[in-house]
Amino acid sequence: MKSRDFKDAMFEQFALVGSAFASPKRIELIDVLAQGERNVETLAGETGLTLANTSRHLQVLKAARLVASRKSGLQVFYRLADPAVLRGYRALRDLAEDRLAEVERLVRDYYGGIDGLEAVPQRDLLRRVREGDVTVIDVRPPEEYDAGHIKGARSVPLAELQRRLAELPSGREIVAYCRGPYCVLAAEAVRMLRRKGFHARRMSDGYPEWRDAGLPVEATPSPSH
- The residues annotated as belonging to the active site are 178
Amino acid at 130: R
Can you say how many angstroms the Cα of residue 206 is from the centroid of all Cα atoms in its chain?
A: 6
Beta strand pairing call for 38-39 and 75-80? antiparallel
Amino acid at 13: Q
Beta bridge partners of 69: 78
141: DSSP letter: -
Taking the C-alpha atoms of residue 140 and residue 149, their distance in angstroms, rounded to an integer, is 10
Beta strand pairing call for 75-80 and 173-177? unpaired
